[in-house]
Amino acid sequence: MTNNNKVRCSWVLDDPIYIHYHDNEWGNPQYDSLKLFEKICLEGQQAGLSWITVLKKRDEYRRCFFNFDPHKIIQLTPENIEHLLKNKGLIRNRLKLNSIVKNAHAYLNMQKSGEDFSQFIWSFVDNKPIINHFNDKSEVPVSTDISEKMSKALKNKGFTFVGSTICYAFMQSMGLVNDHFENCYKK
C-alpha cells in the first residue's frame, strides 16, 4: 500500500488509524512491561476478529481498564464486568473481558515473585528482534515454535487468551519479530 509516497506492507488498509498504527507502532521493539501487558490483553480481544476492530476500540479499552494498570484492573468485580458487557465500545464477550482481569492477576503475581514481564517476554527471542524476510502475507506464519513456547509459558503463569497465534501476532506488533515486508519502507 502506498500513501504519502511510502510503500507499506500490503496488509495495511487504507484507513488513517491503520496507517498510523503500521507507521508508528507495529514492529517497533517495545520493552515497557506495561505496554507489553496492554498489548497481550488487546491481542486476546482480537481472537476471531480483525485487528482493525480492536484498534478502533482501543481507546475505550484504555478508558474502561484504567490504561491497563493491573493494580486497578484486579479490583474489577463481576458486576463491573456485567456493566462493561453493555458497552458497545468494547468487544462484548464475557470470557475476553474477564481475561483482562485474569491477566492482570498473573502479571502482578509475576511481579511479586520478582519477574519482570518485559525480560520474560524478550527472553523468548534472546533479547533481540528476529528479522524475517517476507514479500507478502502468504509467506508469514500464523505461529512458530517460539510463539508456541511463549503461549505455554504464559498459560502456566495464569494468562488466558494467549494461544500460539495470538502470541505470534503479539510478537509481530511489539517488534520481537520484524515481519515488515521487504518492500516496506519500515524494513
Contact 183/1 with Cβ under 8 angstroms?
no
Q: By the 8 A CB rule, do 174 and 36 touch?
A: yes
Instruction: Kindly tell me the sign of the dihedral angle through the C-alpha atoms of 112, 118, 119, 123.
Output: positive
51 is catalytic: yes
Annotated active-site residue 21? The verdict is yes
Q: Are 186 and 180 in contact (CB under 8 A)?
A: yes
Torsion angles phi and psi, residue 82, rounded to 5: -60, -45
Catalytic residue chosen out of the listed positions 18, 26, 51, 122: 51
How far apart (Å, rounded) are the C-alpha atoms in residues 122 and 124?
5
Percent helix, strand and coil across the chain, each rounded to 5? Answer: 55, 5, 40
Instruction: Determine which one of 18, 26, 38, 43 is catalytic.
Output: 43
Residue with cell 511510502: 6
Active-site entry in 21, 61, 107, 122: 21
- Which triple of cell numbers denotes residue 128? 533481540
Active-site residue flag, 139: no
Give catalytic residue positions.
Answer: 21, 43, 51
